[in-house]
Amino acid sequence: MRIYNTLTQQKEAFKTIEPGKVRMYVCGMTVYDYCHLGHARVLVAFDVVTRYLRHRGYDVTYVRNITDIDDKILRRADENGEVYTDLTDRMIHAMHEDEARLGVLAPSDEPRATAYIDDIIAMIQTLIAGNHAYAADNGDVYFAVDSFPDYGKLSKKKLEDLVAGARVDVQEAKRSPADFALWKAAKPGEVSWQSPWGDGRPGWHIECSAMSTKCLGDTFDIHGGGPDLLFPHHENEIAQSECATGHKFVHTWMHAGAIRVNKEKMSKSLGNFFTIREILEKYPAEVVRYFLVSSHYRSQVDYSEESLAEAGRTLTKLYHALRGITPAKDSDVPETDHDHRFAEVMDDDFNTAGAIAVLHAVANDINHHRREGDDEQAKRSAAILVRLGGVLGLLQQNPEAFFQADTGSELTAEDIEAMIQDRADARKAKDFAGADRIRDELLEKGIILDDSREGTTWRRA
């Protein structure tokens, strides 16, 4: 396997610290609002990474944190007139709902920042003792960036440029504009925890260092996240972690690509900001997942109505190949050239676009075998398609469930079945005009009929 390492900016042979085991940490959500499409990109990308590593036989420990204390959380809770924990609990529940609908597996561990306050304080104390951090007069504690000579090695930014371009509020007690907060003194009435520096709460960056090293050790295999986290968040994590432990923090850094909407950056100010649940009101969840998976995880993805529609059309082709077939038992179907090709492209930095092409090649085989009347070979190929699709979190539904999923149509499954029976009765009575009217009425309402020797099946457009 070869994985692109953001730190070295090149693909590298993947070697685990401990043979056969992968320890991976991915920065999760700050839970003050519903997850948006950018979050879905990261959730699905690292879900596929986890699934494939396990498919390759690795024992994967996947840790994804939750930031449940933050300025945005406190501000939103205050706006809502609610206790901040009520807000975070509700948003975490919603996040889990969104993940489940997208087929994202639960991480091995999901630590919350507020449960690691003691570990955060202990790490800050270690940094102060090593002259890498200092307590300011205002009750804040800052990391001294100039105490870490390698600062900037991930983002390739130079410290002198950062200092020259920084703006510092006159009230801040930093020694240098590039220094960042490890501990923030509490404002009057604000939620806080006791510390050697007074009541306060952790800065954003330190929580991930404390949680990741506590859950995975001082050094672990993979650290991932969204493209916006590379700097300053991940850069700061490296600095404070390596200064606190004296060890290399992470071997491989992975960053998912950005989401754009109709070729523009997604933002609330542009009115093109979509939450996961808003999108799932219009499109089946597996179509959204297919859309995200069909692009390489590092590539920029452009979201548009047409791109989702195209994802729906191409996923439908795969399910069409499986329709009406009972796949052979997976254990009875040995690995084939398709399995080997799938592994070859996925071993190349998780090339899911190439893996999707393999799925379509298998679907073509199924269709060929059916045309040739070779039902047994079609069943074996169907087992391969379901097997490889599962590695990407796709094609695990019964095809009829996929085709007939209710996405807000005015017609229920019972209504549709009744109209199909009326059409069949009309055809039996040689009322072909009446039968055609029923078919056209269903089509106008987004229901497509497929006639075959076995009878009539239907699917939602």
| DSSP string covering 38-74 | HHHHHHHHHHHHHHHHHHTT-EEEEEE-BB---HHHH
Q: Which residues are annotated as a binding site for ATP?
A: 268
Q: Are the C-beta atoms of 307 and 279 separated by less than 8 Å?
A: no
Other Cβ atoms within 10 Å of 455 Cβ, number: 9
Cis peptide before 232 (omega within 30 of 0): yes
Euclidean distance between CA atoms 335 and 341, whole angstroms: 10
Other Cβ atoms within 10 Å of 428 Cβ, number: 9
Q: Which of 21, 97, 14, 99 is nearest to 64 (CA)?
A: 99
β-pair partners for 224: 26, 254
Euclidean distance between CA atoms 30 and 273, whole angstroms: 17
Q: Which residues are annotated as a binding site for Zn(2+)?
A: 27, 208, 233, 237
Q: Which residues are annotated as a binding site?
A: 27, 208, 233, 237, 268
Edge-to-edge strand ranges of the sheet holding 21-26: 59-64, 21-26, 220-225, 250-255
Euclidean distance between CA atoms 218 and 242, whole angstroms: 8
Q: Are the C-beta atoms of 20 and 14 separated by less than 8 Å?
A: no
Q: Which of 451, 413, 455, 420 is nearest to 435 (CA)?
A: 420
Three-state secondary structure string covering 113-163: HHHHHHHHHHHHHHHHHCCCEEECCCCCEEECHHHCCCCCCCCCCCHHHHH
Edge-to-edge strand ranges of the sheet holding 301-303: 264-265, 259-261, 301-303
